[in-house]
Amino acid sequence: YGYHISKTSYFLCYDPPTIKRIFERLRNFDGPQSYPKFCGDYNILHVRDVTTGYDSSQPDKKSVSYKAFCRGASLFEEVES
């Protein structure tokens, strides 16, 4: 509902070891099993990591869509506008 703006872009990487390092860094940002809290000036409200099944917005921290995705490096962040 209401107005919103989306600006999406993609970074392509075809080197599996590099992709693994990027996502391991995001999953252990400020320490073990710690995701980033900010993206630039924006506060990150929730993180859903469908690769590991983690979702910070759920009471049990488990992603409800975890089984809907195949293996891969999929991580979504919800930021405060």
Lowest mean pLDDT segment, chosen from 38-42, 44-48, 56-60, 67-71:
67-71
**Could you tell me if residue 81 is inside a domain?**
yes
**Could you tell me if residue 42 is inside a domain?**
yes
Burial class (CB in 10 A: 0-12, 13-18, 19+), 60: exposed
**Could you tell me if residue 66 is inside a domain?**
yes
* pTM for the whole structure: 0.69
Alpha carbon distances (Å) from 23 to 2, 5, 15, 56, 77:
33, 26, 13, 17, 13
Lowest mean pLDDT segment, chosen from 20-24, 28-32, 55-59, 60-64:
60-64
**Could you tell me if residue 2 is inside a domain?**
no
**Could you tell me if residue 45 is inside a domain?**
yes
Q: How many domains would you assign to the chain?
A: 1
- Taking the CB of residue 50, how many other CB atoms lie within 10 A of it? 21
> Residue 52's domain spans which residues?
35-81
